[in-house]
Every structure is written in C-alpha cells, then in structure tokens.
C-alpha cells in the first residue's frame, strides 16, 4: 500500500485570531504544522507530500519538521476545497487515478500512529475510501432564539468527521470538480463523494486528533502531546 499526502495549510485562522495563522503557533517545542506532518515523515507508505500554503507564505521552509524528504508546495485557494484541488492537480503530475491520497488538516497536530494504521487498513479494503471519525457521546440540543433549547436531537448514527480522509486520486478529483462546477462547496472530501451518491467508510478514531480552533485547543493538544506515548 502506498499513498500521497495532501496537507492544506493555507487558511488564515479567523476564529483563532493571533498574530499568525494557527498552523504556525508554537506547541510543545515545534509548530502545529510540524506536528501535523510528523506521523507521515516516519511512514514509508507515504511516497510524496504536498503542502498547500497561502500564496507568498514561505514560513514553512525554515521549519526543521518540513525538512527531510521533498515537499511539493502549491498555493492555496479561497476555501479549503480550492486548496485541496490545487494539491490534487500537483499529485496528478506524478500519480495515476487509482493511487490513494490522504488529506490531513495542518491544524490537527495529534494524529495517533495507530489511527493512521487503522485508517489505511480499512480504507484500502473499501471500494470508495474512508475517513477517521468520532461517534458523538454528548446529548445534542438544537438552539432556538436566544440560545434557548428548541429540542433534543437524537444522536444515534451521528459522527464528527476528522482527518485524514483517504480516497483514490481520480475519484476524489472528479467529486470535488463536480461539486465546484455545481456551485457547491464541500467542507471535507467525504461530502463531495457523498454528493456523488458514494458512501465512504467511517473509521473510529481518537478524540485526541482535535482540530486547533481556539487558544484552548492548543493547551489540550499540548497535554496530549506531552503525555501520550502513541503520538509522534
């Protein structure tokens, strides 16, 4: 099994704030981006890495965690989906349509190696592909006016979608292109395939694989990274 890695890191981190985008925030001795790349640097199944950064952003080049093995760099687009599409065009210059692509957010620094292994094993055996996800455990409320509860939503069958998400290059490119051509903006790769009538596989992953959104998430990620042996 071999795969290409696509890491979208071209966001500006509006909800995070701060003086630089969250992928460059310091976390346990390195940047969030370096932690996000770490599990793949040690994985011989990963045959190429494409990093998507904002046009003109050269900060990643100076990071030790971005050295050691070539990284293809492409400019990002307006939304995450545009950034991923730019990366897929670069991958298509080196890989055939049947090859696997893993898309992993630069803002997720705590991917467990065991989760990556489980995703790859399950995804490679599935006709469509797969994504890491966490089944919901809290009781869900739908808010009405003034944040008062309108209703409790049944949580059976509901999952939170994480990354990596793994799909074949050809199928994923076709799905994303079709979505954009129809004027629809998917918020993850799976959604574009779902719009094609396909059914990606949900692979249970650890909730440690959080996406840095606000400053509190950095503290939580730091706790995971310094206390969990299974992390890179």
Binding residues for ligand CTP, per CB under 6 A?
8-16, 21, 23, 52, 76-80, 83, 105-107, 211
Query: 12 or 226, CB closer to Mg ion?
Result: 12
Q: What is the DSSP string of 143-207?
A: E-GGG-EEEEEP-TT-EEEEEEEEEEHHHHHHHHHHHHHTT---SSHHHHHHTTT--PEEEE--T
* Minimum distance from residue 161 beta carbon to ligand CTP (Å): 12
* Length of the chain counted residue by residue: 232
Q: What is the nearest approach in angstroms of Mg ion to the Cβ of residue 11?
A: 5
State the minimum distance, in angstroms, from the CB of residue 230 to Mg ion. Answer: 28
Q: Residue 35's binding partner, choosing from ligand CTP, Mg ion, none, with beta-carbon cut-off 5 to 8 A by kind?
A: none
Contact 78, 55 (CB under 8 A): no
Give, as one character, the DSSP assignment of residue 139.
Answer: P
- The distance of closest approach from Cβ of residue 195 to ligand CTP in the complex, given in angstroms and rounded to an integer, is 19
CB nearer ligand CTP, residue 10 or residue 119: 10
Stretch binding Mg ion (CB under 5 A), from 6-14, 87-95, 99-107, 173-181: 6-14
Q: How far is CA 66 from each of CA 69, 102, 153, 184, 201, rounded to the nearest angstrom? A: 8, 18, 43, 33, 30
- The site for Mg ion (CB under 5 A) is made up of 11
């Amino acid at each position: 099994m071999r795969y290409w890695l696509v890491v979208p890191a071209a966001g500006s981190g509006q909800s995070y704030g701060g003086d630089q985008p969250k992928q460059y925030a310091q976390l346990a001795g390195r940047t969030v981006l370096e932690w996000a790349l770490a599990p793949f640097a040690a994985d011989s199944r990963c045959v190429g890495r494409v990093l998507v950064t904002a046009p003109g952003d050269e900060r990643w080049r100076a990071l030790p965690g971005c050295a050691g093995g070539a990284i293809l760099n492409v400019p990002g687009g307006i939304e995450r989906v545009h950034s991923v599409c730019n990366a897929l065009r670069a991958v298509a210059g080196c890989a055939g349509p049947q090859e696997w692509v893993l898309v992993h957010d630069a803002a997720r620094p705590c991917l467990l190696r065991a989760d990556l292994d489980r995703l790859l094993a399950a995804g490679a055996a599935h006709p469509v592909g797969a994504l890491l996800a966490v089944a919901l455990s809290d009781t869900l409320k739908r808010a009405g006016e003034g944040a008062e509860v309108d209703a409790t939503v049944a949580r059976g069958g509901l999952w939170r979608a994480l990354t990596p998400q793994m799909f074949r290059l050809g199928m994923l490119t076709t799905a994303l292109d079709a979505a954009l051509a129809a004027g629809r903006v998917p918020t993850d790769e799976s959604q574009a395939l779902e719009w094609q009538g396909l059914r990606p596989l949900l692979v249970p992953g650890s909730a440690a694989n959080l996406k840095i959104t606000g400053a509190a998430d950095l503290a939580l990620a730091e706790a995971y990274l310094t206390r969990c042996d299974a992390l890179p």
